[in-house]
Each structure stands twice: as C-alpha cells, then as structure tokens.
Amino acid sequence: MLAANEEWAGQASGLGLPAAPARGVAVVACMDARMDVYRLLGLAPGEAHVIRNAGGVVTDDVLRSLAISQHVLGTREVVLVHHTRCGLTGADEAAFADQVQRATGQRPPWPMRAFADVDDDVRESVRLVRESPYLLTAEVRGTVYDVDTGRLRDVA
C-alpha cells in the first residue's frame, strides 16, 4: 500500500480542494469491500463526505459525523447506501456476541445491528436521520446497491 501511494502521490486528484464537499452531500454506506462508493455514485474527491460502517447503519457515531458534516462543513443532503448480500442481513446478534466473547473474554456492550430485510433497514435509517434533533431537515434518500449488477436502487 505504501508503494501504491508513491504512485498515487505523483498523480493524486483532489489536492488543494476546500474541505467542504462541493456537492453538499454526505453518504452513509456499508463498509463492504466490494463497494467503491465514490465511483458507483459518480463522485470525485472533494464532492461528498463518505461515512462508512458495518451495514451502513445509523449509529450515534454516524449522527455525530453527520452533525459535523452539516453544521461545520455545510452539507445538506444525506444519501444512505445499503447493499444486497450484506453480512448483517439475517446475522445472529447473540451468536456474534458469543463469538467475540469466546475470542476475547469480553462481551461487546454494543449491538451488532443486524437486520432481517435490507429495504426495511434503509427505511429505518432514513427515519433515524430525519428524526435526529441534531440534524437539519435535509433531503434524505435511501438506496440499495446490488453487488452483482452494480445497480443502485431507490428505496421508497
């Protein structure tokens, strides 16, 4: 990765841009390694914040990041990107907690945030963003990315 960065540094894009995203948008997406979030949304460096975690779920830390994105750096739109074949779809919360506990001796105090249906979780995430008292009443859009076709689908 350091060697790759040597090459990148000679041709890097986004250098010298202002920190505020040019398109005024913050994306919340799953950390899934198959998703190149900038490219699948047609975004260039400097255009959007991309906040990622397992599932792309709206946690307290996502709300913290969105509040900074909006109040400090001026974004007004939020795009949520969940995806097909996500590891959190149908995952077993108790089995995960057991697994962590067996491996480390500690039971995690936070939920895994598994969900049964990806569309339902997108709708729940949209609701959590819209109802957060710390965010502006921004445009919020929920989507599901298909990791087999590359297509992004709006979730009504």
Integer Cα distance of 42 and 70 in angstroms: 21
We find the least distance from the C-beta atom of residue 95 to Zn ion, in angstroms, to be: 17
Integer Cα distance of 139 and 154 in angstroms: 14
Q: Which of residues 27, 28, 30, 58 is near Zn ion by CB under 5 A?
A: 30
Q: Which among 36-44, 57-65, 78-86, 131-139 is the span making contact with Zn ion, rule CB under 5 A?
A: 78-86
Rank residues 80 and 86 by Cβ distance to Zn ion and give the closer one: 86
Q: Which among 39-47, 84-92, 96-104, 105-113 is the span making contact with Zn ion, rule CB under 5 A?
A: 84-92
Query: Strand order of the sheet with strand 139-145?
Result: 48-53, 25-30, 77-83, 139-145, 152-154
In this structure, are residues 156 and 143 in contact, taking their beta carbons and an 8 Å threshold? no
Q: Residues interacting with Zn ion, by CB under 5 A?
A: 30, 32, 86
